[in-house]
Amino acid sequence: MKSHKPSTINDKLFNEAKRYIPGGVNSPVRSFSAVVGSPFFIKKAKGSKIYDVSGKQYIDYCMSWGALILGHAYPDVINAVQSVVENGTSFGAPTELETELAKEICKAFPSIELVRLVNSGTEACMSAIRLARGYTGRRKIIKFDGCYHGHADYLLVKAGSGVMTFKNSIISTSSGVPIDFIKHTLVLPYNNLQAVDKTVKKYYKDIACIIVEPVAANMGVVLPQNGFLKGLREICNYYKIVLIFDEVITGFRLAYGGAQELFKVKADLTCLGKIIGGGFPIGAFGGKKEIMNFLAPLGSVYQAGTLSGNPVSVTAGLMTLKILYKTDIYPMLEKRTKILCDGINNNLKKSKIKVTISQAGSMFTLFFESPKHYARIFHKLLKQGIYFPPSQYEACFVSVAHTQEDIERTINAFLIRS
Ligand X SMILES: *Cc1c(COP(=O)(O)O)cnc(C)c1O
Residues carrying an active site annotation? 148, 246, 274
Cβ nearer to ligand X, comparing 243 with 407: 243
Shortest spacing between CB 66 and ligand X, in angstroms: 7
Rounded CA separation 303/86 (Å): 29
> Alpha-carbon dihedral of residues 219, 221, 226, 232, nearest 10 degrees?
50
Size of residue set near ligand X by CB under 6 A: 15
Q: Which of 10, 120, 185, 260 binds ligand X (CB under 6 A)?
A: 120
The Cα 59–Cα 251 span in angstroms is: 24
In the β-sheet with 49-52, what is the strand arrangement from edge to edge? 42-46, 49-52, 57-60, 386-387
Tell me how far CA of residue 144 lies from CA of 121, 193, 262, 274, in angstroms: 17, 11, 21, 21
Asked if 127 is part of the footprint of ligand X (rule: CB under 6 A), the reply reads no
Within a 10 A sphere around the Cβ of 313, how many other Cβ atoms?
Answer: 26
Applying CB under 6 A, which of residues 130, 138, 149, 233 lies at the interface with ligand X?
149
- Beta carbon nearer to ligand X, 10 or 365: 365
Site for ligand X in 329-388 (CB under 6 A): none
Distance set, CA 123 to CA 51, 130, 136 (Å)? 31, 10, 20
Minimum CB separation of residue 109 from ligand X in Å reads 15
Query: Minimum distance from CB of 248 to ligand X (Å)?
Result: 4
| Residue 97 or 215 with smaller CB distance to ligand X | 215
Give the binding range for ligand X (CB under 6 A) out of 127-135, 143-151, 236-244, 326-334: 143-151
| Residue 244 or 381 with smaller CB distance to ligand X | 244
Closest CA to 47 of 86, 78, 12: 78
CB of 65 to ligand X, least distance (A): 6
Q: How far is the CB of 147 from ligand X (least distance, A)?
A: 7
Site string for ligand X, 266-295 (x = CB under 6 A): -------x---------x------------
DSSP β-bridge partners for residue 50: 45, 58
In the list 10, 31, 122, 172, the residue contacting ligand X (rule: CB under 6 A) is: 122
Binding residues among 230-269 for ligand X as defined by CB under 6 A:
246, 248-249
Q: For residues 253 and 250, what is the distance between their CA atoms, to the nearest angstrom?
A: 5
| β strands within 263-312, DSSP E | 269-273, 283-287
> Of these, 63, 125, 186, 196, which contacts ligand X (CB under 6 A)?
125
Three-state DSSP class for residue 272: strand
What 3-state class would DSSP assign to 327? helix
60 strand-pairing partners: 387
Q: Is the dihedral of CA 85, 91, 97, 101 positive or negative?
A: positive
**Among candidates 350, 228, 335, 210, which has minimal Cα distance to 267?**
210
> Residues 193-232: x/- map of binding to ligand X (CB under 6 A)?
--------------------x---xx--------------
CB of 302 to ligand X, least distance (A): 19
Q: How far is the CB of 261 from ligand X (least distance, A)?
A: 17
**The one segment of 84-92, 115-123, 196-204, 307-315 that binds ligand X by CB under 6 A:** 115-123
Q: Is 77 helix (H, G, I), strand (E, B) or coil?
A: helix
* Closest residue by beta carbon to ligand X: 121
Tell me whether residue 125 or residue 129 sits nearer to ligand X (CB atom). 125
Between 217 and 348, name the residue whose CB sits nearer to ligand X: 217
The b-or-e profile of 360-374 (16+ CB within 10 A means b, else e) is bbbbbbbbbeeeebb
Site string for ligand X, 48-87 (x = CB under 6 A): ----------------------------------------
Rounded to a whole number of angstroms, the minimum distance from the CB of residue 145 to ligand X is: 14
Report CA 136 to chain centroid distance, whole Å: 27
Query: Within 13 Å, how many C-alpha atoms sit on residue 305's CB side?
Result: 20
Residues that bind ligand X (CB under 6 A): 120-122, 125, 148-150, 213, 217-218, 246, 248-249, 273, 283
